[in-house]
Structures are given as C-alpha cells and as structure tokens.
Structure 1
Amino acid sequence: MPIEGGGQLMKKVVVIDDKSVVRNMIIRTFDWENLNCKVVGEATDGAQGQRMISNMQPDLLITDIRLAGRDGFALAEWMRTHLPCAKTILTTDYRNFDYARQAIRLKVHAYIIKPLQQAELSNAVQTALDELDQCPAAAHAAKQANGNETRGSGPIMSELEQFNIMIERASTGQMIDYLEGFIMRVKQYSCGSEIVWRGLISKAAMSIAEHYFKVTRDEYGMGLSLYQLLDDIDRLRSLEEAYAYLSSLITAIKQKLSGEGKHYTPLVKQIIDYINSQYSRNINLASVADHFGLSQSYVSRILRADTGVHFTDLVSRTRIEVAKQLLQNAKYKLNEVGDLVGFKNYAYFYHVFKRIEGVSPKEFKNSSHLNSAGTSLTNLGWKEQDQ
C-alpha cells in the first residue's frame, strides 16, 4: 500500500538480492522521490525478504530468483496472491527456459537477465509504475476477464488444446489455414475484451515456443526470448495483427525445425532471427547493430558476405514473404497488409513488392484467389496504384 509523503501518496519499493553491489546499483539508479516512490527496505535472502514484504506490503518488488530461505518465485507468488495490484520484477544470472516459463505463469511484470543493464531496468521500472497508476481500471478488467473465463470456458480451452496438437502435427500451410479459424473463435469468445484476447493469444504463442523448445532444447535459437515474445504480443493493436504475428512465427519455427534454408554463421543466424522477430517494427541497421553491440559497418559487411544481399534487402524480403501470406487472406485490405509487415505507406509497399515479386500486391492477391469459391475482392476499399 502507498505511503504519504509531501502531501501525496508515494509507492513503496523493496529490493532483494544477496549481493550488496546489485542492491546498491538498483537503489542508486533511480531518483525514487522524483518517481513518487520510496525504497522502504532491502533484504539479502528470501526469508528476510518474505518478512519484509509481509510487513511493508510494497507496490513494487525487485528481487533475484536464487535466494537462501525462499526463492524469488515464492516471493512473486506471495505478491500475486496478497497484493494483486503490486508489480514484481525478477532478476537472474541464468538463461533458463523453465525460469522464464515460471515467471510468465506467475505474471510477473518483468524478467531480466543479469548483468543488469540500466536502460532495460529503467524501462521495466517505469512501465511497472505506469501500470500501478492504472491499477483500479486494470483490476476491474481482470475481474471481468476472470468472470468470463469461468463461464463457458470449456470450448476455448478445447480450442487451445487443439492448437497444441496442430502445431506439432500440421504442415505450415495447414497451420496457417487453421490459425484463421482460431483467431475468429478467439474474437467470438473474448467479446471485445482486450485483456481476454491478449491472454489467449499469449497462450497460443507460448505453445509455439514450447513446441520449438521441446524439439530443440534451445529457447534462444528462435531469435527472441519468451519475454520478448510476450512483449511483442503486448504491442499488438488488434486480432488482425495477432494473426499476422502468429503466422510469421509459425512459418519461421516450422522452417527451423524442418532444416529449411541456408546454414549461416552463428552471428549472422542470430541477426537474421532478430530481423524475423522485429520486421513489423521500425527496424534499421543502426537499431540492429545497437542490439548486438556491433558497429553498423560490421553488421552490414557480415550480412552481405553470408547472405549475398544488403541489410535493407534482407529486411524487405522478410516483410514481403509475410505479406504474401497475408495477401492470400481475403479479409485483409492491401494497405492493411503493408502496415502489418512494417511499411509506413502503401506506395512504398507497392514499390518494394513489385520489385521483388515482379507483380503488384493486387495482382498477387487476385491470382491467389482465382480459384477460391465465394471470395470477392470488390470491397477491399483500395484502388491499385498505377506505376
């Protein structure tokens, strides 16, 4: 619960880590008073930490996972049960798929791999504080979602079980076809509740990630961690975007598991995986180089040497491959497809698509649906450009 300070309610923060240097780094990184917060306690082990959070009832807990007495997961569980509006940030020295999955199950706010980077920690703390400010509305939405989940949840749970079976057994094409119906049923079940459909899409994405991990035992070969994956889902603005995102994720995973594509050097493979996971955003050479801690010229040079194409061509081809999948779905307008795959305006999407594929997006869409019964392209709401 917040405390009064200077005439206003201040949020309480507790920091738990067995290393004093880490605790000090976390505490000194922020001007807590300016954030309307106060660090009310710090602890070196889980037992001491449990007593502290029980007594202090903090709004924000930042804790390591591996602690003597009681681990960070137990503390996060207590916070979730007793302080449902509070936020927990977990930190760890270990890249561990089971850790990430457990953190997601507990719905912690963030899961950060050490060594802690100031920018990542600052972003996690700031977004946690922003969500705390919206807590009454969020609690009301969660209450509605839980009520919806208890009423007639059987069909949608069966649907998620079927999704798990399909991702293991179906081909890429079969899975993409199935995905369209899955999204429609999610839309019907959620009844417009964003918190409900995001939860269901998150479960579907987790099924895809867990299938990949079960086969390869390699979480990071996907090009993004579980938390990056869920962060991507948080950025989705609609179920249409969810369909596009899951389609590209399924295609990439199926290709990896079937061994399709050229074998690149490990670093280039990581860069390509990153591009595959970020293509719908405003990705550029500078942002990719910064993500990997490399110079732009070096990234450009190794990509060119390994793939035979320049960085911009690689991003464009990635976007166009996903766009081709979406164009085969009659419900997407041409300009919507361009936006979903990262093109800021239709004219540029048109230009790049025609340069790579030799036909315009509309021509490709028409040819994809020539033999589809009952499909009409007359109401797409976009007149093809003449180029």
Structure 2
Amino acid sequence: MKKVLIVDDEAAIREGIPYVVDWESLGYQIIASAENGLVGLEMIRKYQPDLVMLDIQMPAKTGLEMVKEAQEEGFHFHSIILSGYSDFEYAKQAIKLGTASYLLKPIDEDELLIILEELSKKVDQEKAEEERYMVLEKLFGKDQTGFESYKYGQLIQSQSARSQGVNHLDHPTEIKVLDFYHQKQYYQLFLANHEIVQQGLKEVGREAVIVTPWMPIKHSLKPLVSVISELKKYRYLYPKGELSYTFLEKQKAKMSFEDDLLEEMLKQFLNINQLLNLWEPYKQNYFYQQKPEEAIKWQALQDLDWLTQHIQSKFSVELIWESKDVQGDIYQTKSITELINLMKKEIEKIQLDVSNQLNSQDIISEMKHYTQENYQKDLSLKIIGERFNYNSAYLGKKFRKETGKTYLAYLEEIRMEKAKDILLHSNFMVYEIAEMVGYSNVDYFYKKFKNHFHLSPNEFRKN
C-alpha cells in the first residue's frame, strides 16, 4: 500500500479527504494528517510517505516551503496541491518542485480518482525501476549484499524476454519475479523463502536458456551470477534449449565412455568406413566427460597431434600437418558438432596425403629420371610438384631425406656433369653450353661451374 499524508490547516479537509474516495481499493493508505507545514515536515520525516496532499497557504510554514525543505533533506514523494486559489503562480511553483497535480477546493471526486490512478502507475513504475537497479547492482555491480526478506533465489538467463514457460511455477503466489535486461541478455530473478523443488520449465523450444538451482541469497546474489558463468561453458556441448546442472546430470546418465578410441582410429585409419563409424562415440565421450569449451578444444588439438605422430610412425611417412595450422579454426568453432566436422576434414586430408605417399613410393626415382631427361628446362621444386601432383614442400623434405641432398643441389650436379661432357667433346662456345644445360645467364653459369670444378669453363677445356 502507498502511504498518504494529509497536510491542511482546515480540519474539515483533513477529516473529509479519507471519505472522498475508496483509498484502499486504489492501493493507498492514509497514515497521518497535519495542521500546518511545520508539523507536516515532521510527519514526512517520521513516516516517509509516498504521497502528500497539502494546502499552500498555512500558518507556521507554507505547503511549498514544506515540500522544498523535505526534498532538500533527501525525501522523495509525490504531492497534490489543494488550494482555494486558482493562482497560476502557485501552480508554476508546484510544477518546479515536481508536484504531481494541482487541485482546487472543493475536491472533485472524479478528478481525484484520475490523478490517483495515474499517480499509482507512476509510483509503481518508479519503484520497479529502483528495484531493478538495486538487483542489477547486487548481481553485476559492486553491491555485495543479498536480500534480507528472501532466503532463496533462482536466476534464469535467456536470449529473449520472458521465454515461454520460464515463468511456469507451481506456487506463483509465494514467489517474487523480477525481469530485467543486462548486456544483451534477458534475466528473470525468482525470490522465495523456501526452495521450490517442484518448479520446472516448460518446453522452451530451440531458445538457449540457462537456469541456476535455488540458492541461498540472504548474504549475496553474486553466487547466482557465478553459476550462470559456469554453466555457459557447457553451451558448447548444448547450443540450444535449457542448460542447468540438473539437465547436465540427466544427459550424462544417458551417455557412456569408450576407452582407446584413438588407438582404434589409428588401427582403422585407412579403412574409411570403419573410421567414420568411430567419430560418433568419440563425440559422445565429450558429452560424458562434460568438459567446458576451452578444455574440449585443447583436447581435440592434442588428439590430432597424437594421431599424426603415430600415423607417421606406423606408415613410415612424413606429414606436413601441424596443429598450429588448424588451431585458429578449432578455437573459432561454436559447438561440438562444428569441432567434430572440422576434425573429420583434417583427418581426411591426412588420409589422402598418406594414401598418395603409400601409392607413390618411387616418386624420388621418378623425380631423378625426369630431371635427367629435362635438366635443360626451367626446373624447380614447385614445377616438379605440379608435374607429379605433390606438395612441393613435402617433395623437398622427402628428396633430402632419401638422397641426403636438396633437389636444387641434385639438379646442379646433373647440369654440371652435362656441361663438362659437352666442353670435352665439342667446340660449342661457353654461352651456348650454358643455354644447353639450362642456364640463361652465362655469368651465373660461370660462377656455378667454377664453384663445382674449381676451374672456369675455358680453363677446364684447356686442361
């Protein structure tokens, strides 16, 4: 009930106002009356009313003086000026003081009813706004205190206002519900003096809703926010629908854990169909473990690293794949499903690489043969890679591993031997020989030849 104080020097007004309207049905209760502004100020200090009905002209202290002093002392209330004078100057002063209305005596019942109804809505809105601000401070601000008048609280976060079913309670009259919006999220705070064990959410469709358990809130509301933050970490596993500790427990009870899946993946690595069948239990293991988002992504990277290392060892191949190349993509995934799909694609790439290597064990022999037949052409690892449909970096590593030298060093040896043979068995000029063995720049050819044989081409021919 909103508290009402009547301040008027006319006894008839003070005694008559309580009978003008049905105050209680409108949500008001007349708590006291005063015969002048001085006594009225004391009453304001004592009762802190929501509404003050006052006369302007009164002995000891006028109504406007009383309101002004009360406001300066920090009291906040609405007021209705009652006056027998239709003086506009009084009305202007009342407006400056934030007075709700200005009524002439005698009071018109219908006019007062309209004012009270409008004022009631305004007061309710202000109180709701104050309460909302207070709750935001207790949840997300610096206020560390709880609610003295309530023992338990439950917080619900959603992506839209009043999600369907969120306000479904078995005992709604025993619970206070506060709605508010904070940092692009909607919240509902439920307050009660006992845990509502029977409470439950209706079907919320595909919307993401996070629900805390009922928790003691007498000392602080911060634990509710901490639980919301903790539960958010599992949204990666369950992108839609309700998310709560109860829900997580029920989901885990449905799951089972399979050991040695990575070993089985390694065993079935080249059996595409069998490997595909292993991804679902691999995914289910994460649901069973219920690790938070960051832990899942880290584990996925470790598993891919483990697989690539053991694949190289098992099949005697060299893979270019490195976890750092896919780390960014993994950490950008928004759900476990996206993660598993990404891992599948990476493994498919590795499968293709391994298959190519296993099917092309003689690639180095082919590279040598091609180089011996085409040494006079413009050759490089990139050109060779395109010719044989291989990654140039992979070919470079494999060539060096099997021959002990780089491909360019091997190409240079072939060209130098051909140049040597031509110098010894022909009369071609040096620049012609350079072009014949693949060097368009004769000075560069001179430099390479001298580095290789420690003699210039002409000196070599003379000797």
Same fold (TM > 0.5):
no
Q: What is the TM-score with the length of structure 1 in the denominator? A: 0.32
Question: Larger % of helix: which?
Answer: 1
Query: TM-score scaled to structure 2, two decimals?
Result: 0.27
Using CA pairs under 8 Å that are at least 6 residues apart, name the structure with larger relative contact order, 1 or 2: 1
Which has the higher Rg, Structure 1 or Structure 2? 2
